[in-house]
Amino acid sequence: MRIIGTGSALPSLSVSNDELATFLDTSDEWITERTGIKARRLLSTETLYDLAEEAAKKAIKSSGVAADQLDFIICSNVANRYITPGMNCILQEKIGATCAGLDINVACAGFVNALMLADSMIQAGRAKHILIVCAEEPSKYCNWKERDTSILFADGAGAVVVDAGDGFKAVHLSMISSKDVLYYERCMEETPYERNRKEGQPLVMRGRELFRMAVSQSTKDIRTVLEKAGMQPSDITYYLMHQANKRIIESIRTLLGEPEEKFPTNIENYGNTSSASIPILLDEMLAAGKIHKGDTLLMSAFGAGFVSAVCILEWGK
Ligand code: COA
């Protein structure tokens, strides 16, 4: 498998830390120091489906593959307005595709998991061209009365088109069942058999615990995937890390002993866009001419579960 097209889309509204501090007990200084975030993009006038459509159309255009030539659509999303049908069904018509698809929810690790699935489908001969769209709107399920998650999460979409190639060098997925570190609970309907209606609750997070798990497990999984690929940390051109917290990225970088310029970030302006964060970063780096044929990219993401997923891609193969 190899990536042959990329695209991304962000909401037009940018909200600074100072703006959040007008209604939350927080400050620009605290958020910047603890997370590296200065501003985030939040949905206001657009819908998540608009972002998903824009990112997908850009990825399709840059791949040179016609929408009706796609064989499969994989959407990565934690939650959107419709629990059913899947986002892939909603997107199919908007982009002019005719193929089937599926949605996956592996929280913020969705993109690497989608790449793994696409690689497996292509290797099995089940598809030639696959569209992956990661579209997330965590602002719609954060608790905006509290400062813990609402300062971190943001909205966005990133997409890629993949086909057969030799670029996907290694992948490693891990999971430690630990629901309480990060979860979003939906409201359940009352039934004639269970009168006790379950109210939902917005995103609940144990920040410190998650921080520690993210650093230790991601570093471990990065070492595992490097070993699988027969590589050293220094063989990687860029580490495209899930943009969750600049301090998490910095801690992992220090443990690997790699230089800062190998860890590009955009969390400063976009916050944590969940599974969309890596494909958005990838698309922006390509647009800026920073990724070249033969570069080796390591992608690492973690999230609710607790899940972690890492892969290595050689660009242009
Ligand atoms: N603004 C101002 N103060 C805040 C605050 C906020 N938004 N959130 C917490 N605080 C306060 C706390 O009340 C605490 O005060 P105290 O020392 O008087 O008790 C202090 O800041 C430190 O809180 P703590 O939770 O220990 O901070 P932290 O350094 O762990 O940073 C996170 C908090 C959430 C930024 C950090 O734990 C984190 O990023 N965790 C991982 C989250 C993540 O990546 N989630 C996404 C997974 S995909």
Residue 262 is predicted with a pLDDT of 98
Residue 132 is predicted with a pLDDT of 98
Q: What is the DSSP letter of 186?
A: -
Ligand 1 pocket test, pick from 31, 146, 211, 246 with the greatest ligand atom count within 8 Å of Cβ, gives 211
Ligand 1 within 6 A of CB of 203: no
Does residue 37 surpass a pLDDT of 80?
yes
Mean pLDDT of 54-82: 98
Mean of per-residue pLDDT scores for the chain: 97
Residue 198 is predicted with a pLDDT of 81
Mean pLDDT of 274-303: 98
Does residue 317 surpass a pLDDT of 90?
no
Q: State pLDDT tens for residues 284-296.
A: 999 999 999 999 9
Does residue 40 surpass a pLDDT of 90?
yes
Residue 196 is predicted with a pLDDT of 80
In words, the CATH class of domain 2-166 is: alpha beta
Does residue 197 surpass a pLDDT of 90?
no
Share of the chain above pLDDT 70, in %: 100
CATH 3.40.47.10 placement within the chain: 2-166, 170-314
* Atom 28 of ligand 1, residue of closest alpha carbon: 208
The answer to whether the predicted template modeling score (pTM) of the entire model surpasses 0.85 is: yes
Per CATH, the number for 170-314 is 3.40.47.10
Does residue 194 surpass a pLDDT of 90?
no
Catalytic annotation, residues:
108, 242, 272
